[in-house]
């Protein structure tokens, strides 16, 4: 590189002074590839006494400015690294972020556009940007990890799917591949196989070939065969560099053609598709799409509620009021925080979704989806929680030298309910209906760390699955307790009329239930 270029670069000392970051942070940015490694050479000017010094291009100032902006929006450093991975590091090493699938067998880089040059990143860090999802007046939709449409605008309904997606209650019926195989779409678009290939391309990195047969319930052998053929020979997996771009044509039945630049944005929660009319000028929308955290927050806050099959697990600490009274406030908060830290991994392991729950207990949803058994996930999670809670209780008994046992009482139920998100200061997931209410009441009913569920839930399991579950009812006979396997009972028949809790459970008095003790 010519000497004159080096003279226009800046030293690490200037970077630290102007950006207020630490030397350690600067080194971490270099190590992560967020900013380029310095060019080390003999200094000029007032720093001639120093033998060697590192120089950076002035673009690092904007780079660091973007990092700070993304941090303020709540992005982790891993997310920031992924977002910036393909952004140009210097003016003479510019590479396009977007890729275009120009044919079935290769991907060629687009000629760099103004959007892809460093000056656009100066603009996207501008906090005054006021564009929102409502300003996207061309087709756009979000599909989740089960490939179901969770957010869609009217333009996508009219110009892509040719049907009203938002009136479909069943989440499985909003599977994007099921929609693309519908007669409404085939009667509207001639090149539907190309559109199918584009969608398969976009999600291929998270869809193993052996899961194609599980895309949605009732998928036909012919559909599976076609998708597998496309999977093998017609598509190349799209990169997950936050955003990709493809040129897409929709050839209508009347042979008219609509051309779009299709932007595909990748998130942990799903994939966002935006179809900008070809050759249109939508710079503000493009800048909005680069606001990663803002885009996904808006999408998650506006997702459509869906009628889904789910399991609900409600768990409460027994006698939590008594425990809080016996401990100093600092120790009680420490206990609760350790309790959460100990159990949280079990919910993640079994794909539980956190729901809103008052008090010291918690509520998790296990959603029915292809490739996993949501009922067994809930049961296995409950059993693992009970084991971890027993270990946690023993540690606190040794620490406090007390006789108190910590118990986590659990209720599980299964049903079909509307499931969606509520936007407050954070996004909270909730479902409405008796499925949730009954799980909560069973958690109240349970004592000493027991796990109670409904006959309805266990009846949803196959005979083979049910044979592996140890469940039943405890009865007292002649002053001893016996466990009767593979048996149910009504709540009212399990309570002594003299029990002060008897009247508390009259609303579920006739509910057939059983206690789960183990699974093989």
Which residue(s) pair with 489 in the sheet? 513
Of 416, 505, 407, 488, the closest CA to residue 453 belongs to 488
Residue 403 · residue 416 · CB < 8 Å: no
Q: Which residues pair with 307 in a beta bridge?
A: 170, 418
Q: Give the integer Cα–Cα distance in Å for 315 and 446.
A: 9
Nearest to 355 by CA among 458, 299, 439, 294: 439
Placement of tokens 């892809």 in the chain: 116
Architecture of domain 3-94: Orthogonal Bundle (1.10)
Exposed e or buried b per residue across 501-520, where buried means at least 16 C-beta atoms within 10 angstroms of its C-beta: eeeebeebeebebbbbbeee
Burial of 58 (0-12, 13-18, 19+ CB in 10 A): middle
Arithmetic mean of pLDDT over the chain: 81
Query: Do residues 418 and 432 touch, judged by C-beta distance below 8 A?
Result: yes
Q: Which pLDDT value is given to residue 143?
A: 94
Q: For position 237, what pLDDT does the model report?
A: 55
Which H or E element spans position 430?
Answer: strand 427-432
> Whole-prediction pTM value?
0.60
Radius of gyration for the alpha carbons in the chain, expressed in angstroms and rounded = 29
Is the model's pLDDT at 67 over the cut of 90? no
Contact (CB, 8 A) for 351 and 377: yes
> CA nearest 274: which of 155, 194, 172, 108?
155
Helix (H) or strand (E) holding 5: helix 3-7
What number of other Cβ atoms are within 10 A of residue 280's Cβ? 10
| 456 burial level (CB within 10 Å; 0-12, 13-18, 19+) | middle
Per-residue pLDDT, averaged over 86-106, amounts to: 38
Are the C-beta atoms of residues 13 and 56 closer than 8 Å to each other? no
Structure tokens at 142: 């979000």
pLDDT band at 89 (very low <50, low <70, confident <90, very high): low
**Domain boundary assignment for the chain:** 3-94, 108-301, 313-519
Q: Which of 206, 227, 216 is nearest to 269 (CA)?
A: 206
- What residues have CB less than 8 Å from 42, skipping those under 6 apart? 51, 52, 53
Residue 499, pLDDT score: 73
**CA-CA distances (angstroms) from residue 165 to 168, 181, 325, 417?**
6, 14, 52, 19
Nearest to 315 by CA among 290, 277, 283, 344: 344
Long-range interactions of 463-468: CB distance < 8 A, separation 24+: 465/373, 465/376, 468/519, 468/520
- Residue owning tokens 């997950």: 240
Question: Are the CB atoms for 71 and 83 separated by under 8 Å?
Answer: no
Tell me the CATH architecture of domain 108-301.
2-Layer Sandwich (3.30)
- Of 184, 187, 191, 181, nearest in space to 212 by CA: 181
Distance, CA of 245 to CA of 164 (rounded, Å)? 26
**Whether pLDDT at 114 is above 70:** no
For domain 313-519, the CATH superfamily is Nucleotide cyclase, GGDEF domain (3.30.70.1230)
CB-based contact 67:29 (threshold 8 Å): yes
Taking residue 225's Cβ as centre, other Cβ atoms within 10 Å add up to: 12
Backbone angles phi, psi at 495, to 5 degrees: -105, 135
- Residue from 401, 355, 400, 407 nearest 378 by CA: 355
| pLDDT tens track for 229-238 | 988 876 555 5
Angle of CA points 318, 319, 322, to nearest 5°: 155
Q: What is the residue whose two structure tokens read 């510019």?
A: 94
Query: By C-alpha distance, which of 147, 209, 416, 469 is closest to 306?
Result: 416
The answer to whether 455 touches 513, Cβ cutoff 8 Å, is yes
Instruction: Kindly report, residue by residue over 14-53, the tens digit of the pLDDT.
Output: 888 888 888 878 888 888 888 888 887 766 655 555 556 7
CA pseudo-torsion sign 295, 297, 298, 304: positive
Model confidence pLDDT, tens digit, residues 255-314: 899 999 999 998 888 899 999 998 877 778 888 888 878 888 888 878 888 888 999 999
pLDDT recorded at residue 64 = 85
Instruction: Give the pLDDT score at 359.
Output: 59
Predicted confidence band at 101 (pLDDT cuts at 50, 70, 90)?
very low
- 365-420 pLDDT, tens digit each: 999 887 789 999 999 999 999 999 999 999 888 888 877 889 999 999 999 988 77
The closest of 157, 131, 116, 119 to 263, measured between CA atoms, is 116
320 pLDDT above the threshold of 70: yes
Contact 449, 387 (CB under 8 A): no
């Amino acid at each position: 590189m010519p000497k004159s270029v080096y003279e226009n670069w800046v030293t690490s000392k200037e970077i630290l002074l102007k950006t207020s970051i630490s030397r350690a942070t600067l080194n971490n940015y270099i190590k992560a590839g967020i900013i380029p490694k310095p060019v080390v050479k003999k200094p000029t000017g007032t720093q001639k006494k120093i033998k060697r010094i590192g120089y950076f291009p002035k673009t690092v100032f904007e780079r660091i400015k973007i990092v700070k902006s993304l941090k303020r929006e709540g992005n982790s450093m891993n997310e920031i690294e992924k977002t910036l991975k393909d952004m140009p590091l210097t003016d003479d090493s510019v590479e396009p972020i977007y890729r275009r699938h120009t044919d079935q067998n290769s991907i060629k880089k687009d000629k760099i556009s103004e959007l892809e040059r460093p000056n656009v990143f100066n603009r996207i860090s501008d906090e005054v940007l006021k564009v929102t999802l409502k300003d996207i007046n061309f087709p756009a939709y979000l599909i989740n990890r089960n490939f179901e449409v969770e957010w869609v605008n009217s333009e996508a309904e009219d110009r892509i799917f040719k049907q009203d997606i938002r009136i479909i209650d069943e989440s499985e019926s909003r599977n994007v591949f099921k929609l693309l195989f519908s007669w409404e779409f085939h009667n509207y678009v001639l090149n539907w196989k190309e559109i199918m290939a584009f969608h398969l391309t976009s999600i291929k990195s998270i869809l193993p070939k052996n899961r194609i047969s599980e895309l949605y319930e009732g998928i036909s052998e012919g559909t599976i065969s076609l998708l597998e053929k496309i999977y093998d020979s017609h598509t190349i997996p799209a990169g997950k560099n936050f955003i990709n771009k493809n040129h897409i044509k929709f050839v209508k039945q009347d042979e008219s053609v609509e051309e779009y630049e299709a932007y595909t944005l990748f998130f942990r929660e799903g994939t966002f598709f935006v179809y900008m009319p070809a050759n249109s000028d939508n710079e503000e929308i493009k800048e909005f799409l680069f606001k990663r955290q803002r885009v996904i927050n808006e999408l998650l806050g506006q997702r459509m509620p869906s009628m889904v099959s789910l399991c609900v697990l409600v768990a409460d600490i027994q006698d939590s009021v008594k425990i809080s009274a016996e401990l100093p406030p600092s120790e009680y908060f420490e206990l609760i925080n350790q309790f959460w830290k100990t159990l949280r991994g079990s919910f993640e392991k079994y794909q539980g979704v956190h729901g809103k729950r008052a008090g010291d207990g918690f509520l998790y949803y296990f959603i029915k989806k292809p490739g996993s058994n949501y009922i067994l996930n809930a049961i296995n999670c409950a059993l693992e929680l009970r084991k971890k809670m027993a270990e946690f209780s023993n540690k606190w008994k040794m620490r406090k030298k007390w006789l108190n046992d910590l118990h986590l009482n659990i209720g599980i139920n299964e049903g079909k309910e509307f499931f969606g998100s509520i936007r407050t200061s954070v996004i909270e997931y909730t479902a409405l209906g008796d499925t949730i209410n009954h799980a909560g009441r069973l958690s109240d009913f349970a004592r000493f760390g027991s796990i109670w569920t409904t006959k309805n839930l266990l009846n949803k399991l196959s005979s083979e699955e049910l044979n592996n579950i140890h469940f039943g009812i405890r009865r007292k006979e002649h002053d001893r307790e016996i466990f009767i396997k593979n048996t149910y009972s009504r709540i009212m028949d399990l309570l002594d009329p003299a029990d002060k809790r008897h009247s508390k459970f009259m609303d579920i008095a006739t509910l057939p239930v059983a206690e789960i003790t183990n699974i093989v």
